[in-house]
Structure 1
Amino acid sequence: MSEKIDQIVEDLKTLTLLEASELVTKIEETFGVDASAAASGGVVMAAAPAVVEEVEEKTEFNLMLDEVPADKKIAVLKVVRSLTGLGLKEAKELVESAPKQIQEGLGKDAAEEAKKQIEAAGGKASLT
């Protein structure tokens, strides 16, 4: 190797990881190449920048009462009443008409807790 190349290699050895990353980015931009393609042995012209799609975490949930076994109806009815504040008649109609939405727009923790309560009483619930 030439003395110039040897000097460049020695300079590269002193770079921090951050500096090395910045160098790779600068080389890619300057020469229009993709450094990841070098590992496969070829040089590829730089493609359009990839669009990073942000996945937004769901923050509001609806609580669905999916199924109530006949022998667990009273226990589930009590839980539904405590969650919704409905009277006995309204809660009974709701439980008997499962699958049915019980609550909407709940936060993640509140929705999961309500689901656990229904399941502990013997019903089947889901979050949508």
Structure 2
Amino acid sequence: MRAITNKIPSKILLKRIFPAFSLSSHSLSTSIETKSQKLDRIANELLSLNPVELHDYSILFGMRMGLKNSALASLSAGASPSGSAPPTAEAEPKEKTLFDVKLEKFDAGAKIKIIKEVRSFTDLGLKEAKDMVEKAPGFLKKGVTKEEGEAIVEKLKAIGATVVLE
């Protein structure tokens, strides 16, 4: 075999072994450089993902690789590769940080005061605030901190509204 390869020029040998690669040696080296640049770009993009995106990517990658759903479930649940069980949700309950202020009902006599108060903590106009109050039960403000939500609830309860913090 060695005698045959010495007699055949390397370009012809490459063409016969790899017919799809009828490239010159220069273009072959540039395609290798392009592949390493592509891998560097992919690695940089993966490193720039936030934890939620990384989690979603790992599930998508596993599905594309043909992993079974049970293997994906154990990976997404946070099981270690050694097979130990993930910590239970009851062991570490997550504390809620953002709350929604919900108007359940109100006294008809206090409707105007409630509309004024709703306008004070939202950026709504008079008509929008009135419509929001009249559509009770409904959310007045979403995604507020606990302290801000409790302040709003106290103000609205003082003027005759039934409000909850969810």
TM-score normalised per structure 2: 0.45
Partner of 1:74: 112
| 1:84 positional shift | 0.9
Aligned residue among 63, 85, 90 for 2:128: 90
| 1:56 positional shift | 1.7
Once residues 149 and 126 of structure 2 are traced to their aligned partners in structure 1, the CA distance between those partners, rounded to angstroms, is 22
Please say if residues 79 and 121 of structure 1, whose CA atoms lie closer than 8 Å, have aligned partners that are also in contact.
Answer: no
Q: Residues 34-73 of structure 1: matches in 2 within 5 Å? A: 53-73=91-111
**Higher RCO structure (Cα 8 Å, ≥6 apart):** 1
Q: Which has the higher helix share?
A: 2
Please say if residues 119 and 125 of structure 1, whose CA atoms lie closer than 8 Å, have aligned partners that are also in contact.
Answer: yes
| 1:121 positional shift | 1.4
Max Rg structure: 2
Question: Alpha-carbon deviations, 1:50-100, whole Å to 9, x = none?
Answer: 967112211100010111110110111111010112111110111111001
CA RMSD of aligned residues (A): 1.5
Segments of 5+ residues of structure 2 without an aligned counterpart are 1-86
Segments of 5+ residues of structure 1 without an aligned counterpart are 1-49
Once residues 69 and 97 of structure 1 are traced to their aligned partners in structure 2, the CA distance between those partners, rounded to angstroms, is 13
**Aligned amino acid, residue 126 of structure 2:** L
Partner of 1:102: 140
Give the length in aligned residue pairs.
79
**Aligned amino acid, residue 102 of structure 1:** L
**Partner SS, residue 150 of structure 2:** helix
| 1:117 positional shift | 1.0
**Aligned amino acid, residue 71 of structure 1:** G
| 1:127 positional shift | 1.1
Identity %: 39
Once residues 116 and 99 of structure 2 are traced to their aligned partners in structure 1, the CA distance between those partners, rounded to angstroms, is 22
